Amino acid sequence: MTVPGIGPLIATALATLAPPPETFRKARDFAAWLGLVPRQHSTGGKQRLGATTKMGERSLRRLLIIGANSVIIKRHTHREVQPGTWLGDLLARKPAMLARVALANKMARIVWALMVRGGVYQSPAVTA
């Protein structure tokens, strides 16, 4: 629950509905299981990414997108959304829904890392 956008409801849902984190080799596999990664059409060493798949655990994906939406709505309280940060720059150049799904993808990868390694989430330092 220390990750911005993940509250008691989402944390409980992740703990009960997600399989053990050791099931997935890396965080991208967990995010793909949720349906939060772009579809890959890669060949010959050239990587081509398509639209977000939406194939996966529907309820957890929806909850993570709602949690990402709460972070974006409360920009004034979250340092991660300020201009000059990854999310602030993404919101400036891309549609809001795409930014929400990208943040949900990032949150899912952070959650997987925390479940595998344990510990508490520490917010990255914002450079000014």
Domain extent listing, the chain:
8-117
Pick from 93, 94, 83: nearest CA to 127: 83
Residue 39: pLDDT above 60? yes
* Amino acid type, 99: A
Mean pLDDT, rounded, of the chain:
83
C-alpha of 35 from chain center: 11
Summarised one tens digit per residue, pLDDT across range 60-100 is 999 999 999 998 888 766 666 677 788 888 888 989 888 99
Query: What pairs with residue 49 in β-bridges?
Result: 40
Q: Which two tokens stand for residue 28?
A: 């991208």
Share of the chain above pLDDT 70, in %: 81
54: number of Cβ within 10 Å: 12
Q: Which two tokens stand for residue 59?
A: 């309820």
Q: Which two tokens stand for residue 100?
A: 């929400």
Q: What is the pLDDT of residue 125?
A: 61
Q: What is the pLDDT of residue 13?
A: 93
Average pLDDT over residues 101-115: 92
Q: What is the pTM of this model?
A: 0.82
Residue 45: pLDDT above 60? yes
Q: What is the pLDDT of residue 119?
A: 81
Q: Which helix (H) or strand (E) holds 39?
A: strand 38-40
Q: What is the pLDDT of residue 126?
A: 54
